[in-house]
Chain A
Amino acid sequence: MRKRSFLLAGLGLALALALVWGFNQYTLARTLGLQQQNQYRQAYSDMVGHVDNMENFLAKARGSNSGNNNLINFTGAWQESNAALNDLSNLPVDNPGSSHIAQFLNQAGDFSYTLAQRMAGGGSIKPEEQKVLANIQETARKTGQDLQQLMNRADYEELGWTPKPTGWWFRGRAEADTTDATNPASVSQGLQLLDAQLQKLPPLEYEGKFASKVTQEPKGLPGGEVSKEQAAANLNKFFAQAGLSFNPQYAGAAQGTIPTYRFNLNGDANTTAEASKRGGVPVIYHNGRSIGERVLTPEQAKTKALSLLRAVGYPSMVLTSQEDHGAYLDLAYVALEDGVRIYPDKVSVSIAMDNGQMLGYNAQPYLMFHRQRSIGKTKLTVAQARRYLKPNFKVTDTALVLLAKDNYAEVLCYEFRGNMDSEQYLVYINVSSGYEEQIYRVVKTPVGEYLK
């Protein structure tokens, strides 16, 4: 009898504890849920505000005939688009990257940035760009309205962020997926519907890095598709030229910008190589072997790398960056043609510091961009180009380079490495216009230089 009442009391206590614990968990989950909702709501509200501001700047840019004002309008639109994008990236998505809202914001910002640069240089807006501008502003206006409406619905009709979970253990009715753009079941569904609307719009045509029409085709590959056996034979030849020997085993094909055959070398999944389908050119190689004690100096490794590049068919290359990781050196080379550094045509090589063997190789950029180019003449001499630098900029190095811009256009420039106060820079001056195409700040780390 007494035993039983003890047992009952124990069970009662356990139940009470479980209830307290459960209630605590419930409160905690509620608080966290609320916090998350608030974060989403803040991001969404901010985004609506930024899209509005962007639209307003674009509308003003359409009306203004002043370069000064339009510099501010376009810079403003560009910044607002970035801020809106940042907010959008804080919202939950089902399939990241399917967002045409993001695409529109990116392109609007990109377009504004291009025009802001033009305004700063004293240029004007072309008639066809006026049309694109009108087009973007109208889409921004419409999108802003739709976003605003969705927010209102979220407020007054208490739409959740994601569709309500269904099932008897959740309170509330199941809500069917809807394709009715005016009546989404949740904010995330509303965004998806808005996305679908934007997807139907024709692509924007303008010059910029996010313009729809920028597509890339490899330019540096010889014609004609080869078999995987031929590709393996080419790899063997390549390795022999580099003083290496492997037994490539076919491991599949890859599509994409440079379609390739993939090989495992010596049966090791960490030692792999790829050769292009077109022409059977070696594209990527990585050796995952362990590296012994370092015996080479960086200078010896660089000499070795240059002779390796020569042996595998890159006779004229110049070193542009190096990273010393102890057991290996990562080196980047670009083509040197008639004294011009062709920056897009880059080949990276990794050299083992125990025996100088090639540990890694990547010719993707070179094969993407290399071609017979007609590199223009220089209108300005070095001395003339220097006048476009700041007067107290102390030049330490000068080179003639072909520089790739954001939209893959290539410009011939003088590269001036030099110091201002206590900072080092790389400044690129267009050889015909004297326009400063690019400036990098050089940061030294104990591993190597870094441009930012």
Chain B
Amino acid sequence: MERRKIFILTSVTLALALLFSTTLQAALGDRVLSRGARGSDVKEMQVKLKQLGYNSVGPIDGIFGRLTEGAVRAFQSGRGLRVDGVAGPETIRLLKRLTGGGTNPGGKAVSSNSADVNLLAHVVNGEARGEPFEGQVAVAAVVLNRLKDSRFPKTVAGIIYQPGAFSSVSDGQFNLPPDASSIKAARDAINGSDPSHGALYFFAPSKTSNRFIWSRPQLTRIGNHIFTL
């Protein structure tokens, strides 16, 4: 009887220990992550993948499944790594580097311009998903051109959330997580690229009958958008 108790106890402890050994891992980068891995480090990796626009990662659940593997592959192929779907030291190092925040030389965390990049990427994703890349940069550039124009609000958030300013904000498309291309487009625009040629508005001609917007001088057409002054 006593023996049996001890046997049950040890087997339960063993089972628990086994369970926790796979779920209670330390920080991201302590081990190689591949299909089937579970734990907080997997979750951290999923968050970082999503942050960089690899939205195919699926739910942030701490389980390295098929979707997560797909996102790791997409990340590897988009970032110049060997594509094997396994998050080894190199993949994790790059993932950490690309999502790292700003610091001063004293090593203290300082906010960089990531908030603006994030807002711009959301607008690009909401307004110009599936458009040619140049058209995506142009949409982000329109927001930045408004920043320099005296008739518009003077912050990125002010311009984007101005009631009625962007249809994707009104209909909720804006809130979808931006993809990697939208994020790159936002960065390119911040770095000074402006394929919109100084435009302040853009619209899809097939969907717009607004007289005001049609009356503006048209500057360029990229994909399905006309960009106007």
Interface residues on A, range: 35 or more
Given contacts A93-B165, A97-B151, A255-B217, contact A286 B134 (CB under 8 A): yes
> In the bound complex, do residue B188 and residue A360 qualify as a contact, i.e. CB atoms below 8 Å apart?
yes
Output the least CB separation between A427 and chain B (Å): 15
| Cα distance A260–B219 in the bound complex, in angstroms | 10
Given contacts A89-B158, A270-B133, A272-B132, contact A291 B197 (CB under 8 A): no
- Which of A102-110, A123-131, A133-141, A308-316 is found at the contact surface with chain B? A102-110
Output the least CB separation between B5 and chain A (Å): 54
- Which of B10-18, B32-40, B60-68, B104-112 is found at the contact surface with chain A? B104-112
Is A288 in the interface zone, CB < 8 Å from B? yes
Is A346 in the interface zone, CB < 8 Å from B? yes
| Cα distance A254–B191 in the bound complex, in angstroms | 21
Q: Which of B111-153 contact A (CB under 8 A)?
A: 111-113, 132-134, 137, 146, 148-153
Question: Could you say which residues of chain A place their CB within 8 Å of the CB of B89?
Answer: none
Nearest A residue (CB) for B153: A89
Name the residue in B113, B146, B162, B165 with the highest tally of chain A Cβ atoms < 10 Å from its Cβ. B162
Is B192 in the interface zone, CB < 8 Å from A? yes
Of B78, B103, B154, B223, the residue contacting A327 (CB under 8 A) is B78
Is B178 in the interface zone, CB < 8 Å from A? no
Of A106, A272, A324, A423, the residue contacting B154 (CB under 8 A) is A106
Secondary structure at the B interface, as helix, strand, loop or mixed, is loop
Given contacts A86-B158, A290-B77, A292-B80, contact A443 B163 (CB under 8 A): no
Question: Could you say which residues of chain A place their CB within 8 Å of the CB of B223?
Answer: 269
> In the bound complex, do residue B198 and residue A423 qualify as a contact, i.e. CB atoms below 8 Å apart?
no
- Which of A48-56, A65-73, A231-239, A444-452 is found at the contact surface with chain B? A444-452
Output the least CB separation between B219 and chain A (Å): 4
Output the least CB separation between A327 and chain B (Å): 3
Residues of chain A having any CB pair with chain B under 8 Å: 82, 85-86, 88-100, 102-103, 106-107, 110, 209-210, 252-260, 262, 269-270, 272, 274, 284, 286, 288, 290-294, 323-328, 330, 332, 346, 348, 353-354, 360, 362, 364-365, 419, 421-424, 441-447, 450, 452
What are 14 pairs between A and B in contact, CB < 8 Å?
A: A90-B161, A97-B200, A103-B150, A255-B217, A256-B196, A270-B133, A286-B137, A325-B79, A332-B192, A364-B194, A424-B105, A443-B110, A447-B98, A450-B113
The 4 A-B residue pairs with the shortest CB-CB distance, nearest first, are A422-B106, A256-B197, A294-B80, A327-B80
